[in-house]
Amino acid sequence: MSTCPTCHKHYPDTLSFCSEDGALLPKAAATDDCPPVGTILGSYKLLDVLGEGGMGRVYLAEHMRIGRQVALKLLRPEYAKNPSVSARFFSEARAVNKIRHDNIVEITDFFDAEGDYKYYIMENLSGRTLAAVEREAKLPVARLLNIALQVTDALVAVHAAGIVHRDLKPDNVFLITHGGRADFVKLLDFGVAKLVESREGKPLSTTAVGAIIGTPEYMSPEQVSGRAVDHRSDIYSLGVILYEMACGKKPLEAKSFGEMVVKHLTVTPLRPSKLVDLLEPLPGPLEDLILHCLEKDPSRRPQTIQEVHTRLQALSTGDPAALASFRPPARSSRRKALWIGAGAGLVGVAALASVAIVTGRGRDEPVPAADADLTPPAAVASVPPQVRLDLDSSPRGAQVFSSGGDTLLGVTPLSLTFERSAIPKVFDVKLDGHESVSQTVVMSQDATVLVTLAKKVKEPTGVLAKKKAKAAKPEKRGTIDPFAE
């Protein structure tokens, strides 16, 4: 069985994606080819398994000569055979090495020619994730500010290096004790990081396995709808983290990935001060900052993470002059129209061109013409109407069908083109002698998918088959005894 790392729902090992939130499912240890504890890779001996992910496994390892213990992150062998997936895996190492910051996990080496195994070496951390801390108790404001200041300080360095993290969430904020200081932050997992600039001045982006880049609950509206993202997407994700730390709950909750997409695009979170179960009252400027980060329109959020860091510093020191210099986005109490474009990937909406949601004055109160600003915002940069899916299987040569249909789309490896959409598509992947797999992909952006096919278990023959048939023979009552020998 595989367990979704986001919602913790259990699935058979043949499935690769969670049907609730679209998260990539980790493979069960018994069904993959990852090396067991005790294996020696290069100069390192694997001592224990620290964690599992959709693309890899993290081991506690020890350098054979020096005796230093490290964390070794291994790309699963079935993915290591795919050049594009392998390149994405090592982009995390390159991204982190480009930054070098005390609040970012240190990666010291990586190996991409170790037989079938590709891995890199990180510092071994002893502590807990912010997610684990939040599950135990709500955070007081002073502790929230201490953690948030370190996260934003790290992000200032990340963005200055031209990198967007794209997967900020409490699970990627690790808290350790460092130099006698508790709650020292280490920012983790740049596996879906995007290098915004290259030497040629063109964007360098990485593509996730599947079509979902990031974790849906913490993704910005532009990210969840498949549009281009920049550093302001990280600011939105940080807003979700701040809200969760302050309130003990996420700003938006949904039962499915599609519902979460719609809420990120259309629903304004409830102000923390409206909640009745806060640990302590939030300072007004902190509440304003959190909601400012959660603006749907990137142009209405803080435009740099440095601004967020400076505002948090002012809150931490209680500097009234600094706090007064930052004000939330102007909100007229008069009647306004909120325009919602037909943005790519809006689930369940077929033809939404410009919907005006009207709030404010009573029905009979006159509205001056100058206040009825119905001009929609400037159109965002257009995105290609089609996306490309590169679909491969291990072993190769599998037939790919549309789910529930008998039309053959091709044989792996193959490339397919579809209209851009956040509505999931399901593909049936079949190969003689192997179990068929139904693969779900959200076609919101270009994607690379590798499907691992398990061999079928041969049916018993001869004497064993007769024993099995006898054991399953119905009793006179017409039922089958499941405990029959």
pLDDT (tens digit, 9 = 90+) per residue, 269-289? 999 989 888 888 889 999 999
Instruction: Categorize the per-residue pLDDT at 225 as very low, low, confident or very high, splitting at 50, 70 and 90.
Output: confident
What mean pLDDT, rounded, does the chain reach? 75
Which range, of 7-16, 311-320, 418-427, 442-451, averages the lowest pLDDT?
A: 7-16
Least confidently predicted of 105-109, 212-216, 217-221, 293-297: 212-216
Q: For the residues 444-460, what does the mean pLDDT come to?
A: 78
* 89 contacts: CB under 8 Å, gap ≥ 6: 55, 56, 75, 79, 80, 118, 191
How sure is the predictor about 46, in pLDDT bands with cuts at 50, 70 and 90? Answer: very high
Q: Over the stretch 351-376, which tens digit does the pLDDT of each residue have?
A: 322 222 223 333 333 333 333 333 34
Measure the CA–CA gap between 429 and 403, rounded to whole angstroms.
Answer: 9
pLDDT for position 467: 60
Q: Is 319 among the domain residues? A: yes
Which residue is it, tokens 């091709």? 410
Neighbours of 80 (CB within 10 A): 23
Please report the pLDDT score of residue 327 as a whole number.
55
User: CA 397 → CA 89, 138, 227, 452, distances in Å?
Assistant: 25, 52, 33, 12
| pLDDT of amino acid 69 | 94
- Whether 112 and 163 share a structural domain: no
User: How many domains are contained in the chain?
Assistant: 3
On whether residue 239 sits in a domain, the answer given is yes
Residue 302's pLDDT band, with cuts at 50, 70 and 90, is very high
Residue 26 lies in a domain: no
| Angle 215-220-226 from CA coordinates, rounded to 5° | 85
DSSP three-state, residue 157: helix
- The string of pLDDT tens digits covering residues 123-165 is 889 899 999 999 888 899 999 999 999 999 999 998 988 888 8
| Whether residue 179 is found in the same domain as residue 256 | yes
Q: Residue 310: what pLDDT?
A: 93
Q: Is the pLDDT of residue 55 over 80?
A: no
Query: Within this chain, do residues 117 and 135 fall inside the same structural domain, yes or no?
Result: no
**100 and 245, same domain (yes or no):** no
Residue 75 shares a structural domain with residue 206 = no
- Boundary of a domain, candidates 89, 107, 123: 123
Degrees, nearest 5: CA angle 448-449-451: 160
* Confidence grade of residue 340 (pLDDT, cut at 50, 70, 90): very low
Q: Give the pLDDT confidence score for residue 176 in this predicted structure.
A: 94
Mean pLDDT: which of 107-121, 227-241, 249-263 is highest? Answer: 227-241
* Cis before 395? omega within 30: yes
In percent, the amount of the chain with pLDDT more than 90 equals: 27
Whether residue 212 is predicted with pLDDT greater than 60 in this model: the reply is no
> Taking the C-alpha atoms of 148, 213, 85 and 61 in order, what is their torsion angle to the nearest 10 degrees?
30
Same domain, 100 and 165: no
pLDDT in tens, 163-192: 888 889 999 999 999 988 999 999 987 755
- The rounded distance, in Å, linking the Cα atoms of 1 and 100 is 38
Residue 273 lies in a domain: yes
C-alpha 211/C-alpha 387 separation (Å) is 10
Answer whether residue 254 is part of any domain.
yes
Residue 313 inside a domain? The answer is yes
Please tell me whether residues 255 and 319 are part of one structural domain. yes
Q: How many CB atoms lie within 10 A of CB 360?
A: 14
pLDDT tops 50 at residue 333: no
Same domain for 297 and 183: yes
211 lies in the same domain as 113: no
Neighbours of 93 (CB within 10 A): 21
Residues 211 and 299 placed together within one structural domain of the fold: yes
Could you tell me the CATH number of the domain that includes residue 142?
Answer: 1.10.510.10
CATH number of residue 37's parent domain: 3.30.200.20
Confidence (pLDDT) at 70 = 94
What number of residues does the chain have?
485
Residue 197: per-residue pLDDT: 42
- Reduce the secondary structure of 309-349 to three states and give it as a string: HHHHHHHHHCCHHHHHCCCCCCCCCCCEEEEECCCCCCCCC
Backbone angles phi, psi at 424, to 5 degrees: -65, 145
User: Which residues have a catalytic role annotated?
Assistant: 167
Average pLDDT of the segment spanning 294-311: 94
Per mean pLDDT, which range of 2-11, 71-80, 278-287, 470-479 is the poorest? 470-479
* Upstream peptide bond of 413 is cis (omega within 30 degrees of 0): yes
Query: What whole-number distance in Å separates Cα of residue 195 and Cα of residue 370?
Result: 43
190 and 305: one domain? yes
CA distances from 31 to 157, 208, 245 (A): 40, 22, 37
* Among 310, 288, 301, residue whose Cα is nearest residue 153: 310
Q: Evaluate if residue 92 carries a pLDDT over 50.
A: yes
The larger pLDDT score, comparing residue 195 to residue 298, is at 298
For residue 443, the domain's CATH number is: 2.60.40.1120
Among the three residues 77, 98, 123, which one is the final residue of a domain in this structure?
Answer: 123
Q: Quick check: is 366 in a domain?
A: no
362 is a domain residue: no
- Is residue 299 scored above 60 in pLDDT? yes
Q: Domain range spanning residue 152?
A: 128-324
Which of 29-43, 268-282, 284-298, 371-385 shows the lowest per-residue confidence on average (mean pLDDT)?
371-385
pLDDT for the residue numbered 218: 92
Residue 295: the pLDDT is: 95
Give me the mean pLDDT over the 413-435 stretch. Answer: 84
The answer to whether residue 343 scores a pLDDT higher than 50 is no
Residues 177 and 284 in one domain: yes
Which of residues 456 and 206 earns the better pLDDT score? 456
Nearest one of 394, 299, 333, 400 to 76, comparing CA atoms:
394
Question: Using an 8 Å Cβ cutoff, are 244 and 170 in contact?
Answer: yes
Residue 56: pLDDT band with limits 50, 70, 90: confident
pLDDT at 297: 93
